[in-house]
Structure 1
Amino acid sequence: MILEMVKIRYGMVGGGEGAFIADVHRKGAMFDGLCELTAGCFSRRQDNNAATGHRLGLHDSRIYASYEEMAVSEAKREDGIDFVVVVTPNDSHYEIVKAFLLQGIPVMCDKPLALTLSQGEELAALSAERGLPCAVTYAYSGYPMIKQAREMIRRGDIGELRSVVAEYAQEGIANPTRKGTNWRTDPKIQGESFAVADIGTHIEHTVRYMTGLRISSLCAMFNGAGLDNGLETDAKLLVRYEGGPNGMYWCTKLAIGSKNRFVIRVQGSKGTLEWEQEQPNDLRVCLKGEPVRLYARGREPLYPEAAAFNRLPGGHAEGTYESFANLYRAYALAIGKWRSGLPPEELDFDYPSFEDGVHGLRFIDACLNSAKGNSSWVSLPCGADESMKAF
């Protein structure tokens, strides 16, 4: 339900001049006119911080020297921010997120939610205890054709699920083209995992979002080629899901020629669905005894839950910016209801939550434990389904 409401005010921590993903966040947030950037602490370097804030049109009083000052000050203001976006390196997520939660400010955090599972669980518990709607930016769930696949699976169009094969291949370590991301290969900042934590968790979340399948156990084989610090650059996983189906995941930073190749194939008793991130507007549908179909976003009639996230007519490509915009639209509407004290409905939770962030951290831990144990099978506790918790 679209609410008549004033703009949602948000702040940002991180994302100073030269930052890539922060700009995607800001552009995604402004698509629907629901969100307005009103405060920020963009960099530890005060020249960068001030320059970024001024470029984005913020008043000097809303450009903060530290995130601690920002959290306290914004919580006291009558026109304070309604939520904050955290787009800093991994090792700082926990402290920053916690500072805003303690001030009663909801948070949208880049993944991973925290550096360790215990930190992530603490943040999820704190947000639930305080009734704060919080999000983690697993943005692939924002693509309309991912939502169409989800509805087809939910409605039984491809029958009983049997297996999932997914890969996320990049060439970053083998053929680096972008500067400024060296912190991702520093274990002190990135954490104990590289390929799995950076892109493998996107597989875990997107597959779980599409299919509803939860991993019960997995085994992982790591390869650290290209780095000499113990972080894996390539991971191959076998997974077992609750209820019987199984799957195979591959995530790598070593695939020369693969820019951002994220592919998911879901096989059922009646058919198969296939989606590829570099062609995100199409969904390949293969039903038993029927010709192969290519569902094109904006052309074919989609289920309402997917069609609601279309933005352009068919033939006009939608991609990363639109997926972030869909995430921000869903989250902004949830924040609007929370702020107004209205009861939430199921569709109000169609964004990745802190619980999803905790699932991602459990997944990383299980992969690390398996790889360290000579690729032994490791159980993955799923926890309770808290996708419909009250604000």
Structure 2
Amino acid sequence: MKNKIKYGMIGGGPGAFIGEVHRKAAALDGHLELVAGAFSSSPEMTQKMGEELGLESNRLYDSFEEMAKAEAALPKEQRIDVVTVVTPNHLHFPVCKVFIEQGINVVCDKPMTNTVEEAEELCRLVEKHDIIFALTHNYTGYPMVKEARHLVKSGKLGSLRKIVVEYPQGWLSEPVEEQGNKQAKWRTDPQKAGVSAALADIGTHAENLVEYITGLKIEKLYADTTSFVEGRALEDDANLLVHYEGGVKGILYASQISVGEENPLKIRIYGTEASLEWKQESPNFLSLKYPDRPEEIYKRGNPYLSDAANFGTRVPPGHPEGFIEAFANIYKNVALTIKARKEGNEPGVLAADFPSVLDGLAGVKFIHKAVESGKENRWIDMG
């Protein structure tokens, strides 16, 4: 493909799970090409990763600061168009900040930052420097999530009343951070993960999924948070009552000590006319239920679905699409938006469909308000 969007990566060095996910997703549709990186705090590991990926040695950098400065100094046709940030949470803000200030577009893993103040600062910088900023809430990339959003907007469910969203995992049910698990070690460390573990890691996905599908913002919440594993500084389980706009009530459950669970993110939305249900572990199906007729099952890839759902679909019905493809839909849309900007055009509505810096701010506020509620044992207003 001619005129590929050139991107660089911060983090995602040897053995990093999420960095490899991002690289596969970015490559899937052929819109982007990885040309530069600072993959590790160790220059040796960056060189090793770069060699494995076949990158030129002069585009491998010892630090993200060096990379931002050097790439911005290159001629426009050579430098990166966008940087992907896949570091532990505590580095998201400084990395994003330095690239935004150099006028380079950003794709950042969630949560966007560790503090609300940092998130607000990134919002100001994105507006000031007029760059494209995407947050990889990848579950919004699933075609049937987009279909769910379309059905809610079209009034298929009637007036919304109740939302139940859950994301249980079991991988932190034992103190694996003390047994050499690097992912667990930083995710349970307040110095790197911030004020939260389970809420910051997966609770924010649940929060974002509700807002993406329904458009509803949280007005107030009550959180019951627990660190079940002895000695763990951050919560590994959270149960929330949530009040949304318009009198809609909700339950949000995020847990990493739910033994035997893998990644069964699930959302149920109940309206006055119908309800819907989507499960991440069966992502190609969307269920609609009615009070007076049989349940309907919508299937990915069919022509009866919305334009938004089919825009994020690559293969015919019956061929499963999943996790990598959902990430890829975010990367595809970011690439199409950057291309449109380069050509002096506005991106199409479907191409502009990806989580933004404002979604990042909402997520960080949610995390902090939920942690505050859990500590103080009371309802907290989001305002």
Q: Distance in 1 between matches of 2:359 and 2:352?
A: 12
- TM (normalized to structure 1)? 0.94
Alignment of 1:159-174 (within 5 A): 159-174=158-173
Q: Report what 1:110 is aligned to.
A: 109
Q: Distance in 2 between matches of 1:5 and 1:267?
A: 46
Q: Distance in 1 between matches of 2:266 and 2:94?
A: 34
Q: Distance in 2 between matches of 1:294 and 1:317?
A: 15
Q: Report what 1:23 is aligned to.
A: 20
CA contact (8 A) 1:40 1:70 kept: yes
Q: Report what 1:389 is aligned to.
A: none
Please point out which of 72, 90, 93 is paired with 1:75. 72
Q: Report what 1:384 is aligned to.
A: none
Q: Report what 1:309 is aligned to.
A: 312
Please point out which of 242, 247, 251 is paired with 1:248. 251
Q: Report what 1:380 is aligned to.
A: 382
Please point out which of 183, 187, 206 is paired with 1:203. 206
Q: Distance in 2 between matches of 1:52 and 1:379?
A: 45
Which string of whole-angstrom CA distances, capped at 9 and with x for unpartnered residues, describes residues 216-240 of structure 1?
1101001110142431110000011
CA contact (8 A) 1:227 1:233 kept: no
Q: Distance in 1 between matches of 2:302 and 2:196?
A: 41
Shift of 1:347: 3.1
SS at structure 2 position matched to 1:247? strand
Please point out which of 347, 351, 368 is paired with 2:354. 351
Q: Report what 1:386 is aligned to.
A: none
Q: Which runs of 5+ in 1 are unaligned?
A: 382-391
Q: Report what 1:388 is aligned to.
A: none
CA contact (8 A) 1:133 1:338 kept: no
Q: 1:237 to 1:306 in 2, by over 3 A?
A: same
Q: Report what 2:296 is aligned to.
A: 293
Which string of whole-angstrom CA distances, capped at 9 and with x for unpartnered residues, describes residues 128-166 of structure 1?
111101011100000000000000000011111111001
CA contact (8 A) 2:311 2:350 kept: no
Q: Distance in 1 between matches of 2:246 and 2:35?
A: 47
Shift of 1:268: 0.6
SS at structure 1 position matched to 2:139? helix
Alignment of 1:32-181 (within 5 A): 32-78=29-75, 79-174=78-173, 179-181=181-183
Higher mean alpha-carbon deviation, 333-342 vs 10-19, is at 333-342
CA contact (8 A) 2:140 2:209 kept: yes
SS at structure 1 position matched to 2:246? coil
Q: Distance in 2 between matches of 1:299 and 1:136?
A: 28
SS at structure 2 position matched to 1:32? coil
SS at structure 1 position matched to 2:50? helix
Q: Distance in 2 between matches of 1:93 and 1:282?
A: 34
CA contact (8 A) 2:236 2:256 kept: yes
Q: Distance in 1 between matches of 2:98 and 2:380?
A: 34
Q: Report what 2:372 is aligned to.
A: 369
Query: What is the one-letter code of the residue matched to 2:19?
Result: A
Identity value in percent: 43
Shift of 1:178: 9.0
What's the RMSD between the two structures over aligned residues? 1.5
Shift of 1:282: 0.7
SS at structure 2 position matched to 1:312? coil
Q: Distance in 2 between matches of 1:308 and 1:329?
A: 10
Q: Distance in 1 between matches of 2:345 and 2:324?
A: 29
Q: 1:206 to 1:362 in 2, by over 3 A?
A: same
SS at structure 1 position matched to 2:328? helix
CA contact (8 A) 1:50 1:63 kept: yes
Which string of whole-angstrom CA distances, capped at 9 and with x for unpartnered residues, describes residues 156-177 of structure 1?
1111111100110000111559
- TM (normalized to structure 2)? 0.96
Which string of whole-angstrom CA distances, capped at 9 and with x for unpartnered residues, describes residues 266-301 of structure 1?
001111100011101111111231201111212462
Q: Distance in 2 between matches of 1:158 and 1:101?
A: 40
SS at structure 1 position matched to 2:254? strand
